[in-house]
Structure 1
Amino acid sequence: MSFPEPKFIEANGLKLAVYEQGTGVPVVMCHGFPELAYSWRHQIPAIADAGFRAIAADQRGYGRTVDATTGKIPAAIEDYDMEHLTGDMVAMLDELGIDKAIFCGHDWGGFVVWQMPLRHPDRVAGVIGVNTPFIARGPIDPIEAMRATMGEDMYIVFFQKPGAADELFGKDIAKSLRFWYRKSAVTLEDFDNAAPDAAKNLALAKLFEVPEEEWGGDPLLTAEEAAYYHEAFTSTGFTGGLNWYRNFTRNWERSKDLPEKVNVPCLMISAANDVVLRPELTEGMEQFCPDLEKHIIPDCGHWTQAEKPDELNALITDWLKRRFA
């Protein structure tokens, strides 16, 4: 089944590109950085074939989604805070005539879907985290915490500088996509024991400047897939996606009165060799997500949807059928 063409809906000030297949209980998939609705290309048909309505959107700042007035990606950094990101999903449900959906998110999309039941509990039937666990609100600004523990070069801290990462990754989009989209090169044990300091500190901008033949890990995308991403990011650049990161502090400040209990069925799927969203980050999730099932996909890095699609699809569809069919 080929990747569907989008339909465009007006939602929360956006002209939102929405891709869907199937009928039944709706499952909304939220992508991360630097991804697209297309990142769910292996999951959409599998979820539809399992008897569900599979829905994914190019989210705010990405792909074919634009500001409904300007026809460009939203301009202000604050336009990418969690209130906007979750509000987009609620507005999309409204326009699609959906009362409640199961939300499935990877990477940054995982942060969005775990926030949905806290901010909009009446619109959420269940949550699936792919690599990204539920993370409770910390006692200090998360950017300050990352800066203190991992330094200025840690990629999320580096991303806080408007324009810097945008220029670095935007000057050669094809190279940037080759850098990001690679299969896992090492196990977590090998990473912890032998990785250089720049890797352990997640100093991705420094690693980006290393000669390409030293990056490690096999390329993940086919030529056709790489061309799809290249066309999308040539159109938008990376600023919209990077602006999600530039709201870490704002999101932390504005979330202090939110509840921290996810009172719907939850599925957490980790990847054994994701060095950023490590499986051990899921430890203790049960106190926040009482109805939780957890799995780990072996021999898999960060890009789980593309690296181990069959394994991921099997876990998702089995859980959906048991809990929502």
Structure 2
Amino acid sequence: MFNATSFPTPTLVPVNGAVLEVFEVGSENAGNPIVLCHGWPEHAFSWRYQMAALAAAGFHVIVPNQRGFGNSSSPENVTDYDITCLTGDLVALLDHYGYEDAIFVGHDWGANVVWSTALLHPDRVRKIINLALPYQPRTDVPWIAFMEAIFGSDNYFVHFNRQPGVADAVLDANAAQFLRNLFRKNVPPARPAPGMVMINLAEAGTPLGEPVMSEDELAVFTAAFERTGFTGGINWYRNLDRNWQILADVDPVIHKPTLMIYGEQDMIPKSETLPHFVPDVDVLSLDCGHWIQQEAPEQTTQAILDWLADHEPA
């Protein structure tokens, strides 16, 4: 089990009108950057099992807490979390280190930011490795209306947008319980309960399945969100329709070597159209749920290292 006290000491890096808390290892490997992007409700700490191995393989490993998370900036304005801002932070982070481009790795919402970075700043992305969330093609109608029509008003994407502040308050008041109930694996299949799933998790007294991480590891996430609250991260969701507008005239095809890693037990469906939008993609599935790099750390790390070794420049 990972020792939480051995995680690198962060630095605060000014970027794009904000400040990011950045953890790094392998700075001696300058010139070979790899940027790891966490999801929601996560933290740079979610990459703890991959960082040392990537540094040992010759990479300069850069792991930011993105805006709204950890000790990074959490602006008050919702629009300060749109995809222009989130991808702009990553580009500015490359500028800070003097890099023209980098390999980007994303999980969950972090994967969405990486996909979008390749769309909006293709010259800054060398290769892509994304976990859990496949490329999401732009829908004919704005995303929240699209999701509401399919999944209903209790879908948490929809709820976050239609009822601002409601979920934030419940999650903030039950941060430890919410995270304990969320970071689970091998959860028995069951019909979804009525109501909004994230609020249900925050209010549930008994977790299902098995814990993804140790109590000491979970404490890192809990301490971070008890300090910041959840609104910053939830504001990412509140920009989905704004992002839909931003991406309206952008070439939707990503022309970068890509590895897509799915969790076989994840609730997020695999994409049938992925090769159409990401033609240079390799796909791998691991026997785990949604929290891929934490549930199956050794397999995830090895998959990343093997794929990178196979895609070294000739």
Compared CA separation, residues 319 and 216, structure 1 to 2 (3 A): same
Alignment counterpart, residue 180 of structure 1, candidates 163, 179, 182: 182
TM-score normalized by the length of structure 1: 0.90
Q: Which residue of 2 aligns with 1:284?
A: 273
Q: Is the 8 A contact 2:79 2:239 kept in 1?
A: yes
Q: Which residue of 1 aligns with 2:233?
A: 241
Alignment of 1:212-251 (within 5 A): 212=206, 215-251=207-243
CA separation in 2, counterparts of 1:173 and 1:205? 11
CA separation in 1, counterparts of 2:116 and 2:175? 31
* Alignment RMSD (CA, Å): 1.6
Q: Is the 8 A contact 1:106 1:131 kept in 2?
A: yes
Equivalent AA in structure 2 for residue 175 of structure 1: Q
Q: Deviations over 1:215-267 (max 9, x none)?
A: 42112221211221122112210000000000111111221101111111000
Q: Which residue of 1 aligns with 2:171?
A: 169
Structure 1 residue 211 displacement after superposition: 3.9
Q: Is the 8 A contact 2:118 2:125 kept in 1?
A: yes
Counterpart of 2:185 in 1: which secondary structure? coil
Structure 1 residue 116 displacement after superposition: 1.0
Equivalent AA in structure 1 for residue 42 of structure 2: E
Q: Which residue of 1 aligns with 2:291?
A: 303
Q: Which residue of 2 aligns with 1:144?
A: 145
Equivalent AA in structure 1 for residue 40 of structure 2: F
CA separation in 2, counterparts of 1:270 and 1:221? 19
Q: Which residue of 2 aligns with 1:64?
A: 71
Q: Which runs of 5+ in 2 are unaligned?
A: none
Q: Is the 8 A contact 1:169 1:238 kept in 2?
A: yes
Q: Is the 8 A contact 2:100 2:124 kept in 1?
A: yes
CA separation in 2, counterparts of 1:164 and 1:148? 21
Question: In terms of mean alpha carbon deviation, does 173-182 or 82-91 score higher?
Answer: 173-182
Q: Deviations over 1:5-35 (max 9, x none)?
A: 1111110111211111112521111111000
CA separation in 2, counterparts of 1:82 and 1:165? 22
Runs (4+) of structure 1 exceeding 3 A deviation are 201-204, 206-211
Q: Is the 8 A contact 1:101 1:126 kept in 2?
A: yes
Q: Which residue of 2 aligns with 1:262?
A: 254
CA separation in 2, counterparts of 1:64 and 1:197? 34
Counterpart of 1:41 in 2: which secondary structure? helix
Q: Which runs of 5+ in 1 are unaligned?
A: 67-72
Give the total of aligned pairs.
305
CA separation in 2, counterparts of 1:211 and 1:90? 42
CA separation in 2, counterparts of 1:184 and 1:91? 39
Q: Which residue of 2 aligns with 1:70?
A: none
Q: Is the 8 A contact 1:33 1:241 kept in 2?
A: yes
Counterpart of 2:126 in 1: which secondary structure? strand
Equivalent AA in structure 2 for residue 196 of structure 1: R
CA separation in 2, counterparts of 1:289 and 1:269? 14
Tell me, yes or no, if structure 1 residue 323 matches structure 2 residue 311: yes
Equivalent AA in structure 2 for residue 32 of structure 1: G
Tell me, yes or no, if structure 1 residue 33 matches structure 2 residue 40: yes
Alignment counterpart, residue 42 of structure 1, candidates 42, 45, 49: 49
Counterpart of 1:42 in 2: which secondary structure? helix
Q: Is the 8 A contact 1:12 1:91 kept in 2?
A: yes
Q: How many percent of aligned residue pairs carry the same amino acid?
A: 42
